[in-house]
Chains A and B, each alone.
Chain A
Amino acid sequence: QKEVEQDPGPLSVPEGAIVSLNCTYSNSAFQYFMWYRQYSRKGPELLMYTYSSGNKEDGRFTAQVDKSSKYISLFIRDSQPSDSATYLCAMSAGSNYQLIWGAGTKLIIKP
């Protein structure tokens, strides 16, 4: 079993829909949770960074962490075609610990 599981998709939704992307993990020591966005033929870029449990909102994006269920989510409201990309979750046990990555979910927003 992988430490971090993420559905590879693709997930295809119409423009304007609310998107939910998820990762599950097995290591209860993880405290730092990140979502990276990767456009085709580009490097990943940090989208959201959260520490421990709870929600964090930034514009149309909301990151949610449920440590009791070992489950993290990224919600995108009012999705746009420009949101089409692969979304990677990553997590670590501490700021000096190695990041553990999910495989990424490919998201397609249809105009």
Chain B
Amino acid sequence: EAGVAQSPRYKIIEKRQSVAFWCNPISGHATLYWYQQILGQGPKLLIQFQNNGVVDDSQLPKDRFSAERLKGVDSTLKIQPAKLEDSAVYLCASSPPGTAGGPTGELFFGEGSRLTVL
């Protein structure tokens, strides 16, 4: 079974530039998450999708971050304009449906996209 695919693995940009990250979750996983992980910290949830609907985006800085999940499969996370403090690893994860159709809490992560903002 293929895992969660993310690209690019690494990206270096100047502040105020824009960047986009792509994620393809495990087939059949309706729930998709984008996390931000700063060095030495645990993952911080940015946005959670259930199919192509947003479940939780309360911690997404909406003035600069946006995310979409077209057709309930692939997802893209965009940052525009980037700030120095956005330097982090952006992790995509997906989760299989639980007994009630919602996520189980068992997350499968991709390898992450490492962003450096100069």
Contacts and interface: CB of A to CB of B under 8 A. Distances in A.
Interface in A34-62: 34, 36, 41-46, 49
Contacts of B112: 41-43
Contacts, number: 62
Interface of A: 4, 6, 8, 32, 34, 36, 41-46, 49, 88, 90, 92, 95-99, 101-104
Contacts of B102: 95-96
B93 A103 contact: no
B105 A32 contact: yes
B56 interface: yes
Given A96-B100, A98-B56, A46 B42 contact: no
Interface of B: 4, 40-45, 48, 56, 91, 93, 98-100, 102-112, 114
A92 B31 CA distance: 16
Contacts of A103: 40-42
A61 B114 CA distance: 30
